[in-house]
Amino acid sequence: MRSGDAMAKVLVLLAEGFEEIEAVTCIDVLRRGEIQVTTASLGARLVRGAHALSVEADTTLDGLDTQGFDALVLPGGMPGSKHLRDDSRVIELVRRFVKAGKITAAICAAPTVLEKAGVLAGRRATSFPGEAIPSARFEESSVVEDGPIITSRAAGTAFPFALALVRRLVGVDKAEELRDVMLVPL
């Protein structure tokens, strides 16, 4: 959590073929939690999701100074997760965030990006069923937190995933307030 009145800052990466529910739910819930969210694309700012919903990113990864962010979020989806996993800039960014102890979160197939970056070894994690994260201690929970890493399973777990981020970034009270207002089941 940030101290004082400084607003927490989260970077959400959008790659062609991202899972729309995971990305948009996370962005929306974080913003409701009074967290500053910046979306960045890997290439063109207009990014088409896995189910043909296009989102205009705030910026591109190349045009962004990533130093001031408190958390990095990787939505899943295919082929979005593959594009994230195969991008050396993303792999380096994941490594930098984890090394700095900053929250690094991935949902659905995106934990495979964390696997490729080598940051899951021996850590508890989850992912979409069948996605390979062999270095992790796999759990079937909706959301798994281990140190700075938060992982989740699929579009259906997007709300608990986003609320876990709110809890870590601004506190339990705000996460519970949002859960109550949005009628998210326990």
Closest CA to 99 of 34, 147, 63: 147
Q: What is the CATH number of the domain that holds 74?
A: 3.40.50.880
Nearest to 153 by CA among 112, 94, 92: 112
Please give the positions annotated as active site.
108
Task: Note down the domain range covering 167.
Answer: 9-175
Please state whether beta strands 71-74 and 103-107 pair in parallel, antiparallel, or not at all (unpaired).
parallel
The pLDDT, as a whole number, for residue 16 is 98
**Number of domains observed in the structure of the chain:** 1
Average pLDDT score over residue span 144-161: 97
Write down the pTM of the prediction: 0.96
Q: In 25-79, which ranges are E strands?
A: 36-41, 46-48, 54-56, 59-60, 71-74
pLDDT tens digits, residue range 93-138? 999 999 999 999 999 999 999 999 999 999 999 999 988 899 999 9
**What's the DSSP call for residue 130?**
T
Q: What's the first-to-final CA gap in the chain, in angstroms?
A: 23
